Amino acid sequence: MNQTYLKCKEAADYLKTKMDAENAIGLILGSGLGELGNEIQDPVVVDYADIPNFPKTTVPGHAGKLILGTLSGAKVLCMQGRFHFYEGHDMKTVAMPVRVMKLLGVKALILTNAAGGCNETFKPGTLMFIDDFINFMGDNPLYGENLEELGPRFPDMTKALDKEYTELGIETAKELGIDIRRGVYMGFRGPNYETPAEIRFARTIGADAVGMSTVPEILAGRHCGLRMIAISCITNMAAGMTGEELSHKEVQETADRVKDQFKGLIRAIVSRM
Ligand code: HPA
C-alpha cells in the first residue's frame, strides 16, 4: 500500500484510541487564531509529538496540539498549529493533518490564515472568504502515486470550497456586522514576503490575497472529498501596495486586533454548520 496513505492511517488509528472525532468539524487555525483552541470545552488534547508520523511545528505562535471537544455546542477537532511548506516540510507532510482528519470521519473543515491583501479595496483587518485559489507554490500534495483509498487521480477544483457552507459563513458574518469580503487566494512558497513585481503579477492574474499556506490543505481536502470553507484575515496590504515595507510585527499586530471578531465568526459558523 502507498507509504503516504499508510502514514496517515497509522496516525489516525492511534488517534482513534484517544478520541472519537466522527462528524466533528475540523478547524485548522492560522497565525493569531490558535487561542480559539483554548476555548474548546471538555477537551481531549493530543500533542503532535505523540502522534505517529506527525512532524513538529517550528513556527512561534503555533502550539502543536490536536484538540477534540465542544465549541458553541458543536463538536470540533482543532489543529492548533499547522505545517507550512516554507518550514521545509514536503507537501505530503503539510497535507497530512487534513487526510488524518478525513480518516477520523470529520464532516467538514474550516481553514483560516493570515494573508496580504492585493485587492486595493481591502484594508488590514478585512476578513475574506476564499472562493477560489491559485496554486503558485510550485508543488502539490497530490503529485505522485494517487492515494486511491482517499480520492481520484484527477480531482475537480471548480467547487473546491463548499458553496453552501461559504454562503452560510457570509450570512453569519453579515449578521455579526462584519464587513466580509470574498475573493481569490494565491499561495506562494515563502518564506519571504512577495516582491512588488510579484504582487503586480498576482493582481493581474486575479488574486485578491496572497499567503504561504492553505493551498496544500485545500488540494488534499478536495481530493478526499471534504467539504471546506477557508477564511483569510488580511493582516497587511501586500508588497508595493502602500509604499511601506512589510513586517511580521504588522502581521501579528493586525491578527491580534481582529482576533476577537474572527473568533466570534468561527464560533457562530460552527454552531450553524
Ligand atoms: N504575503 C504572504 N503571506 C502573508 C502576508 C503577505 O503579505 N501577510 C500575511 N501572510
Domain boundaries, the chain: 3-270
Best probe residue, ligand 1, of 31, 112, 208, 210 (max atoms within 8 Å of C-beta): 210
Q: Does residue 61 carry a pLDDT above 70?
A: no
Q: What is the pLDDT of residues 161-170, one digit of tens each?
A: 999 999 999 9
Catalytic residues: 31, 62, 84, 86-87, 114, 212-213, 236, 248
- Place 195 in a pLDDT band, splitting at 50, 70 and 90: very high
- Place 159 in a pLDDT band, splitting at 50, 70 and 90: very high
Query: Mean pLDDT over residues 8-22, rounded?
Result: 97
Q: Does residue 269 carry a pLDDT above 70?
A: yes
Ligand 1 contacts CB of residue 113 (under 6 A):
no
- Place 81 in a pLDDT band, splitting at 50, 70 and 90: confident
Average pLDDT over the chain, rounded to an integer: 94
3-270 folds as Rossmann fold (3.40.50)
For residue 236, CA distances in Å to 25, 124, 210, 233 come to 29, 5, 10, 9
CA distance linking residue 238 with residue 141, whole number of Å: 26
Ligand 1 contacts CB of residue 24 (under 6 A):
no
- Asked whether 136 and 195 are in contact (CB, 8 A), the reply is no
pLDDT value at residue 62: 56
Query: Mean pLDDT over residues 128-147, rounded?
Result: 97
pTM, to two decimals = 0.96
pLDDT value at residue 60: 61
Best probe residue, ligand 1, of 189, 193, 194, 257 (max atoms within 8 Å of C-beta): 193
Q: Does residue 182 carry a pLDDT above 90?
A: yes
Question: Reduced to 3 states, what is the DSSP secondary structure of residue 223?
Answer: helix
Question: Reduced to 3 states, what is the DSSP secondary structure of residue 56?
Answer: coil
- Asked whether 272 and 172 are in contact (CB, 8 A), the reply is yes
Cell numbers standing for residue 197 = 513585481
The residue that leads in pLDDT, 34 or 142, is 142
